[in-house]
Amino acid sequence: MSLRETYIKELRGLAAQDIDSVEMRWQSPSNIALIKYWGKHGNQLPMNPSVSFTLSKCFSDTYFKLIKKTGPSSTINVGFTLDQKASPVFSNRIKDYFDSIKDLCPFLTGYDIIIESSNSFPHSAGIASSASGFSALALCLTTMEDNLYGNLDDDLKFRRKASYLSRLGSGSASRSIYKRASWWGESPEIADSSDEFAVDVSELLHPIFNGFQDSVLIVSSDKKPVSSSHGHQLMDFHPYRKGRLHQADQHLRDMKSALQIGDLERFGHIVESEALSLHALMLSSSPGYFLISGETIAVIRAIRAFRESEKIPCYFTLDAGPNVHLLYPQQFSTQVKEFIIDELEPLTDHVIYDELGNGPVQLS
């Protein structure tokens, strides 16, 4: 039986509490992938496992209210605002998402739903908000399920369900459920790992990663010309698909050991290789495209020159966009921040100084 069937069957066997209305609020962070999820199959299953750091200051804050409908209904009624404004694009994506999971969350048709979401980072900052947004939403759905059926009091069970539901909204969102570091994708390297949900791998981290910094250098906030969803699709028949799978496999093994022993040089070599490979895969897709800009390359060159001359372990990674994440240990914050202000800020629109975070928080 698939996990989806197991989850559906479990709820069918439970009696729901009679709840007229309920409201809650979750704050959930974004994450930055060290090993990238790029390419998928089936229903939101990853082509290869990925590993990420959970961020702290870049988060979505989602208020969720359900009011019981008076009569039977098979439709989903949802009102959604982002930063107090109607957002037809996100609203439609959420409706499609709810439609796709109504067998998993049967209460979605029994209640009128109000969602008010906001992001701590500017909407146009060029930071993917789908990871924080969908994970916050999935945490609300999971909490509602627990209120109705009382079946998720075990923290691990609760988080797995939340990660599973997050993944169905946006793959990278599955990794935002845990503190500090997450692994999504079945692999012999990690016990209990699965393609269906992410797992907490914060225990792997060597103390050098405590308070690890991620300064997000926003070089452009423009809308991406090619969405991640389309980029994933282009991996289906990509000429380097096999090579990418092999590379990801090798990187996962090496990254696991670098995280465990605190080998920053190896860590840095892998994150930079992952970032450049991700964009090389875009360049060599059919049709090929690129999301990095001249400023992205100038920032990367400056980072490499600074690392070389100052012997400070700071490394870049990239999302599916032109912005650069600069990763470094907390103990070098003063020197790296000085470097950012002097040399990188002139090349960027603005900088968000973030760091490893403790995962989502239920605010009410």
Q: Rule CB under 6 A: which residues touch ligand DP6?
A: 33, 36-38, 44, 50, 128, 130, 170-172, 228-229, 232, 278, 319-320
Q: Which is nearer to ligand DP6, 278 or 356 (CB)?
A: 278
Q: Which is nearer to ligand DP6, 189 or 319 (CB)?
A: 319
> What amino acid is encoded at 352 in this protein?
I
Nearest approach in angstroms of CB 274 to ligand DP6 is 9
Q: Please check whether residue 66 is in contact with residue 92, taking contact to mean a CB–CB distance below 8 angstroms.
A: no
> What amino acid is encoded at 350 in this protein?
H
Q: Is residue 158 within a helix (H) or strand (E), and if so which, with residue range?
A: helix 155-169
Q: Please check whether residue 193 is in contact with residue 183, taking contact to mean a CB–CB distance below 8 angstroms.
A: yes
Nearest approach in angstroms of CB 100 to ligand DP6 is 13
Nearest approach in angstroms of CB 170 to ligand DP6 is 3
Distances (CA, A) of 182 to 199, 279, 352, 353, 356: 6, 22, 22, 21, 12
Nearest approach in angstroms of CB 166 to ligand DP6 is 10
- No. of helices (H) and no. of strands (E), the chain: 9, 14
Q: Which is nearer to ligand DP6, 133 or 268 (CB)?
A: 133
Q: Please check whether residue 204 is in contact with residue 214, taking contact to mean a CB–CB distance below 8 angstroms.
A: no
Query: Of 184, 150, 164, which is closest to residue 54 (Cα–Cα)?
Result: 184
Nearest approach in angstroms of CB 306 to ligand DP6 is 25
Token representation of residue 272: 């930079």
Which DSSP symbol is given to 54? Answer: E
Q: Which is nearer to ligand DP6, 275 or 299 (CB)?
A: 275
For 209, list phi and psi in degrees, rounded to 5: -90, 0
Q: Which is nearer to ligand DP6, 56 or 228 (CB)?
A: 228
Q: Give the span between the Cα atoms of 35 and 50, in whole angstroms.
A: 5
Nearest approach in angstroms of CB 121 to ligand DP6 is 15
In this structure, are strands 45-46 and 50-68 parallel, antiparallel, or unpaired? unpaired
Q: Which is nearer to ligand DP6, 40 or 159 (CB)?
A: 40
Q: Which is nearer to ligand DP6, 142 or 228 (CB)?
A: 228
Nearest approach in angstroms of CB 27 to ligand DP6 is 19
Q: Give the span between the Cα atoms of 299 and 219, in whole angstroms.
A: 9
